[in-house]
Amino acid sequence: LAAPEPLSADVLERRISTFAEVQEHYYTEPPEIERGWREHLIDVHAQCYLDLVNNVALTGHAHPRLVKAVSNQWSLLNTNSRFNYSALPRFTERLVALAPEGLDTVFLVNSGSEAVDLALRLAKTYTGNDAVLAFQEAYHGWTVGADAVSSSIGDNPRALETRPDWVHVIDAPHPFRGTHRGADSAARYLDDLEARLGVLDDAGTGLAAFIGEPVFGNAGGVLLPDGYLAGVFEKVRSRGGLTISDEVQVGYGRLGEYFWGVEQQGVTPDIITIAKGMGNGQPVGAVITRRDIAEKFAEEGSLFSSAGGSPVSCVVGLTVLDILRDEGLQENARTVGGDLKAKLLTLQGQHDIIGAVHGLGLYLGVELVRDLATLEPASAEASEICEELLREGCIVQPTGDYKNVLKIKPPLNITTESVDFFVEALDRVLSARSRR
Ligand code: PMP
């Protein structure tokens, strides 16, 4: 592809003048995107890009079945969940049927941040405790509670110094670059956690919850060491706390082999938070939990979200689930994602800058390092590579504390042809860099 035309000065300037700049945009000279189709984005110059970053568009962009269902529901009715309409129980029944055993009650909200905030409130109310354990390098959202349990210095360089007292940031069990390394490192992380919890026990600090991504999405799809979550859940529960699995990024079929990320660790949480892809871009989020936890929360009064669980949101949620099922998208994530991972591992053998290929299904991370022994993060390189990939027609962005992991989380209907297009582009970009 030719270098993309910069965003028309007018649109970029107008954006910057009235839209708070802290809401960043991708790329120094971003293309002006006009429409989407499946795993593709098309700009105002009819330049086509492969969208490898948009995990929100689970069923692909502009899915005709979804477009039809939404426009039909908008023309019939959109109101709030205090009214009685069939889309709501149809959606919550589907979610309960998909949820791990024992999670039988649903709250419907509008985003991942809201779901995480509500999950924290549920845990605090149920346990009567305040303290929450959360991973370092995590991102759980932007609302007060969700932000409190987010400590990724990639998103907020001052995150670790500014967490409120009730948040206890624990070492992330990162088998590639963490304190302990290797797929068998769970026991060592759990020993450290036990020591940490001992300090809280001695201080009489009761636990409300542990919250974590079951596959470490914000670090680029890093799988937790085997047995780690089982150990954490046991320790948290023995202290009266609840366990929250934040499935906003990695859940809902994206991992291919598993519908929920937590299945990969063979455990069942007390609470699941989910959003993003479940609405394919329509604001839809949910908390799925046990009835006794939901009932305890009811003692605090009622809960009302003006748009959460609206007829349109429920119809979107149901249609996304129909498309997932009818088009076999979880299976596509398994097969096409598995093929993509294998091809990326082959590239790893050819390019020293690739330190690891993380992830499962269609949640993958290509970790870039300057030195395979020290694992020094190739952060500046990752950002340059993303710019170079844009010129190849591929949209990829860096993630993690060091912003050195290329996150690959495309729509689940991505084809093998598109995957090959990306792998060839990445190979060309990395080869050109090593020749410089
Ligand atoms: N949890 C996780 C794991 C996330 O990745 C995100 C968003 N990136 C959120 C929660 C917050 O979701 P939202 O942006 O819908 O508020």
Distance CA 409, CA 110 (A): 21
In this structure, the residues whose C-beta lies within 6 A of any atom of ligand 1 are: 111-113, 116, 139-141, 213, 217, 246, 248-249, 275-276
pLDDT at 155: 87
Query: pLDDT tens digits for 17-72?
Result: 999 989 999 998 899 999 999 999 999 999 999 999 999 999 999 999 999 999 99
Rg (CA), the chain: 22
Question: Could you identify the atom of ligand 1 that is nearest to the CA of residue 275?
Answer: 15
Of 140, 134, 127, 89, nearest in space to 293 by CA: 127
Residue 287 forms beta bridges with which residues?
Answer: 107, 273
Give distance in angstroms: CA of 248 to centre of ligand 1: 6
Which residues fall within 8 angstroms of residue 280, CB to CB, at 6 or more apart?
Answer: 56, 57, 58, 59, 63, 66, 316, 320
Query: pLDDT tens digits for 377-402?
Result: 999 999 999 999 999 999 999 999 99
Question: Could you identify the atom of ligand 1 that is nearest to the CA of residue 141?
Answer: 11
First vs last Cα of the chain: how many Å apart? 20
Sequential pLDDT tens for the chain (436 residues):
555 555 566 888 888 899 998 999 999 889 999 999 999 999 999 999 999 999 999 999 999 999 999 999 999 999 999 999 999 999 999 999 999 999 999 999 999 999 999 999 999 999 999 999 999 999 999 999 999 999 999 889 999 999 999 999 999 999 999 999 999 999 999 999 999 999 999 999 999 999 999 999 999 999 999 999 999 999 999 999 999 999 999 999 999 999 999 999 999 999 999 999 999 999 999 999 999 999 999 988 899 999 999 999 999 999 999 999 999 999 999 999 999 999 999 999 999 999 999 999 999 999 999 999 999 999 999 999 999 999 999 999 999 999 999 999 999 999 999 999 999 999 999 999 988 8
Give distance in angstroms: CA of 148 to centre of ligand 1: 13
pLDDT at 300: 84
- The protein residue whose alpha carbon is closest to atom 12 in ligand 1 is 112
Which residues fall within 8 angstroms of residue 396, CB to CB, at 6 or more apart?
Answer: 52, 53, 385, 386, 389, 406, 407, 408, 422
ipTM of the complex: 0.99
* CATH class, range 64-326: alpha beta
Question: Could you identify the atom of ligand 1 that is nearest to the CA of residue 143?
Answer: 16
pLDDT at 342: 98
Question: Where along the chain do its domains lie?
Answer: 9-59+328-435, 64-326
pLDDT at 149: 98
Give distance in angstroms: CA of 91 to centre of ligand 1: 21
Distance CA 174, CA 152 (A): 14
pLDDT at 16: 87
Question: Could you identify the atom of ligand 1 that is nearest to the CA of residue 112?
Answer: 12
Give distance in angstroms: CA of 141 to centre of ligand 1: 5
Left if phi > 0, otherwise alpha if psi is -120 to 50, otherwise beta: which for 27?
A: left
Residue among 55, 137, 140 whose CB has most ligand 1 atoms within 8 A, to mutate:
140
pLDDT at 5: 56
Question: Could you identify the atom of ligand 1 that is nearest to the CA of residue 138?
Answer: 3
| Answer CATH for 9-59+328-435 from 3.30.70.141, 3.90.1150.10, 3.40.50.10170, 2.60.120.10 | 3.90.1150.10
Taking the complete model, does pTM exceed 0.95, yes or no?
yes
